[in-house]
């Protein structure tokens, strides 16, 4: 699908017709948004701009040279957009090509940042006179969404922290939830760092209008604060993880202590029972008084258990 944002009598209009692109000039178009484009749409845009568009493989490259590049006529930017899910987050590669003040975006999934900017362009087109301003608007909106995600994760961390303090549901499953939240935090940080690299490359360029540089400085400061926040969140998660592991180990040690203590309690009675169970003549068994002998042995076992308990308590092992 293609969406063409062009100037029309002092306002911004939208067309989804590929044929309409032939009727427009370079000065009329501001933004061409390609959503899961087919071959015909790509070839039409390449013919209109007289340049080549990035492939999906190029968009997914992680090398610095492939993330941002400039030529005499075009600027290519490849970046990742974070997509939150119910449990896990994922990254989606997006490509931008800037040519003669026109921006072309290539993506394969619906992204809120694009929908928000498209609405803003229709409401107040003066804020987006060129494709450069559209790109900065998309990045700015993406940073705001990342800040919202970091805030939500902080609230989730607070919830986990309260559960740990109350000792509720602190088990292996709870530990896996903390680990998943750590993975999501790292993905958010990676996404923010990717935007920081892009902003840094843009600020070094002499092709962008100078009026957007103050906004770039503000965005860069926001990115630094978000990185500090993610670092703090990761440290909190690491602390929670260590605390949960410690609580689980304490619980396991308590269980092992109970089993060990029960085994020690049964050792003296077992010793007495094994001695009197030998097939030889023993005291209290030669006169035939079996019932009294049973009670005597039972009393001996109970006395032995109490002796073990007293010894352990005296040595503060219980």
Q: Are 138 and 114 in contact (CB under 8 A)?
A: yes
CA-to-CA distance for 201 and 223, rounded, in angstroms? Answer: 14
Return the pLDDT at 64: 47
Q: Give Cα 143 distance to the centre of its chain.
A: 15
pLDDT per position in the chain (318 positions), as tens? Answer: 888 887 877 778 777 777 777 777 777 788 888 888 778 888 888 787 777 776 655 555 555 456 778 778 888 888 888 887 766 777 888 888 888 888 888 888 888 888 888 888 888 878 888 888 888 888 888 888 888 888 888 888 888 788 777 766 667 777 788 788 888 888 888 888 888 888 888 888 888 888 888 888 888 888 888 888 888 888 888 888 787 777 777 777 888 887 887 787 777 778 777 766 755 455 555 555 555 666 776 787 788 778 877 877 777 666
Return the pLDDT at 41: 80
For the chain, give percent helix, strand, coil, nearest 5.
Answer: 65, 15, 20
Return the pLDDT at 294: 61
Q: How many CA atoms lie within 13 A of 73 on its CB side?
A: 4
Q: Are 64 and 27 in contact (CB under 8 A)?
A: no
pTM value? 0.71
Sequence-distant (6+) residues with CB within 8 A of 244 are 164, 170, 174, 175, 178
Helices (H) and strands (E) in the chain, counts: 8, 7
The two three-digit tokens of residue 272, written as one number: 């007495």
Give all domains of the chain, ordered by start, each with its CATH number.
Answer: 2-249 (3.30.460.20), 257-314 (no CATH)
CA-to-CA distance for 243 and 239, rounded, in angstroms? Answer: 6
């Amino acid at each position: 699908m293609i969406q063409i944002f062009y100037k029309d009598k002092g306002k911004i209009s939208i067309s989804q017709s590929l044929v309409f692109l032939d009727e427009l000039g370079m000065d009329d178009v501001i933004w061409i948004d390609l959503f899961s484009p087919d071959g015909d749409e790509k070839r039409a845009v390449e013919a209109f701009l007289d340049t080549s568009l990035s492939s999906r493989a190029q968009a997914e490259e992680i090398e610095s040279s492939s993330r941002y590049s400039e030529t005499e006529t075009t600027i290519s930017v490849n970046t990742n957009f974070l997509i939150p899910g119910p449990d896990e987050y994922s990254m989606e590669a997006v490509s931008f090509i800037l040519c003669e003040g026109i921006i072309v975006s290539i993506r394969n999934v619906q992204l809120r940042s694009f929908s928000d900017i498209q609405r803003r362009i229709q409401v107040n087109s003066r804020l987006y006179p060129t494709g450069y301003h559209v790109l900065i608007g998309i990045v700015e909106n993406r940073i705001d969404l990342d800040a919202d995600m970091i805030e939500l994760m902080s609230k989730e961390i607070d919830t986990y922290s309260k559960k740990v303090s109350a000792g509720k549901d602190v088990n292996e499953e709870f530990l896996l939830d903390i680990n998943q939240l750590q993975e999501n935090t790292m993905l958010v940080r990676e996404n923010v760092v990717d935007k920081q690299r892009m902003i840094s490359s843009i600020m070094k360029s002499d092709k962008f209008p100078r009026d957007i540089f103050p906004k770039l400085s503000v965005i860069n400061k926001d990115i630094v604060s978000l990185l500090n926040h993610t670092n703090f969140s990761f440290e909190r998660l690491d602390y929670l993880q260590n605390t949960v592991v410690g609580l689980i180990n304490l619980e396991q040690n308590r269980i092992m202590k109970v089993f060990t203590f029960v085994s020690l309690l049964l050792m003296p009675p077992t010793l007495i029972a094994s001695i009197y169970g030998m097939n030889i003549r023993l005291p209290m068994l030669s006169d035939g008084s079996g019932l009294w002998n049973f009670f005597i042995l039972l009393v001996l076992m109970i006395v032995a258990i109490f002796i073990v308990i007293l010894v352990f308590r005296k040595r503060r092992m219980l």
